Chains A and B, each alone.
Chain A
Amino acid sequence: MISCRASKDRMIEALYGELDRAEKERFDDHLRSCPECASEYSALGATLKLMDKRERPDPGPEFWDGYWDRLSRRMLWEATDEGRSPSLAARFVRVFSRLPRWSLQAAGAAALLLVGILIGSRLINPSGEGAGVETATVSAPSGAVAQAANYIERSKVLLLGLVNHDPATEDAYAFDLGGKKAMSRELAAQAPAIRGALNERGQKRLRDLVSDLEIIMMQIANLESGQDVEGVELIKQGVDRRGIFLKIDLDRMGRDARGAVDPASATGETKLPRKNKI
């Protein structure tokens, strides 16, 4: 005969049929002589019977049929993110985080001194003549840069149309996903040549931006036919996560500062995204 404590210790195994025959006989003997343990065993058994009635909602065949596509899209995104070299900002932060505090303080003091000298020289000689400060030469954009700028602006227009679309409030037919897919296929096909032409030093960031856009164009081109709301949402999230619009704006500001030709300036400003968070 086993004790109540030993009975409780075996109760779970008994409920799930995991006691061997001898153990089960001893356990049953105890229950016959102990109404309290028998009652508890009975109550737990009834609970498990009730839990058998639990049903889990089935997301449906469309969910399961599209599971692999959604997973492979995410793998593509994450593979490209991992394969990319760290951004300039990330490298900057990493390098500075390794430096000792005194070196940062010394660098800060030197920077303040330099700013003071520059302001002083401007105050003494406002025209700048003979101040010894060289003015930057404005270089004309190369053909490859202009081509890339044009590519970026066309991609931006396409992306704005995509991220500003709200399926809850707008007409699905006016959205024209088919047209966007065709245009993105064309843009994705043009990207390798543009990237290849951006081979000069200092064009890495521009090349990376074209690469980012190329991947997004491939994603759009591979959306399911019909509306593919889920796919569009994934692309919106990817654009948001990777700060694509910010990168485009920074690139444009950089080109404007260098006096580059802005292909969008002839047609006016492009509309900004309606939502801050896509």
Chain B
Amino acid sequence: MDENALIEGLARSDPRAFRELVERYKKKVFYLALDMAGNPIDAEDISQEVFLKVYRSFATFKRGAKIGSWLYRVTYNASIDHLRRKGAAPEPVGDEVLEARGREAAGLPRGGAMDPAAAVESSQLQARITRALEKVSPQEKAVFLLRHYDDLMLKDIAATLGLSIGSVKSYLFRAVRKLQKELGGPAAISGVEASHD
């Protein structure tokens, strides 16, 4: 089903189209919610709210817009609402939990049996990155995540989040500066080449 057929199906309240939408976008929606909320239970709750909203109010979708961008926007708003309800920032997580998550993320066993040195290094890096992202504001984080991991162009992020290009650039610049500060600056980033593009 191509995007136009999907939109037509959703406009007719076709259950197959809705199922297709969920299957196609559940990972993108879940991962943005996870990055914003910080834990998988809240992320699933937010992602379900997003799809329920789409199901109930597809009439508010503007024809000609990209459905993926609209879903990102709904997810972003749902995540911000969730953070406000919970008191702005995700609950702080201990180093041990972060390192355990890092091991899982790096696909390493919990005991780190494959290569202990690599496992420790990898899980510590993941924990540092997670900690650094916690220092970035929700708006800055959303812009950074969409640009860096979802590969949206700056103008698309602006359209998705309803911001000006200038605001998007400003949020992104601040996010990267904060990440640089938290990760220890260039001297601490060993083994990483300086040029990016």
Contacts and interface: CB of A to CB of B under 8 A. Distances in A.
A13 B194 contact: no
Nearest to B23: A68
Interface string B74-115: 000000000000000000000000000110111100000000
B189 A12 contact: no
Nearest to B166: A9
Given A57-B104, A74-B48, A74-B52, A49 B125 contact: no
Contact of B196 (A18, A48, A78): A48
A17 B192 CA distance: 19
A121 B101 CA distance: 74
A170 interface: no
Given A12-B173, A18-B153, A46 B52 contact: no
Nearest to A24: B197
Given A43-B186, A51-B179, A68 B148 contact: no
B55 A75 contact: yes
B6 interface: no
A43 B147 CA distance: 18
Nearest to B165: A13
A92 interface: no
Given A42-B186, A70-B48, A48 B176 contact: yes
Contacts of A50: 125, 129, 183, 189, 192
Given A16-B154, A45-B195, A49-B192, A71 B22 contact: yes
A38 to B, nearest CB: 9
Interface residues of B, number: 46
Nearest to B144: A51
Nearest to B195: A45
Contact of B180 (A18, A44, A64, A71): A44
A64 B52 CA distance: 17
B42 interface: no
A47 B189 contact: yes
B40 interface: yes
A14 B27 CA distance: 29
B197 A17 contact: yes
A64 B31 CA distance: 12
Given A15-B176, A47-B179, A55-B105, 9 more contacts: A43-B185, A47-B189, A49-B189, A49-B196, A55-B126, A56-B34, A57-B40, A57-B104, A70-B48
10 contacts: A12-B172, A18-B154, A44-B177, A45-B194, A46-B196, A53-B125, A57-B101, A58-B105, A64-B26, A71-B22
Interface of A: 8-9, 11-18, 39, 42-51, 53-59, 64, 67-68, 70-71, 74-75, 78
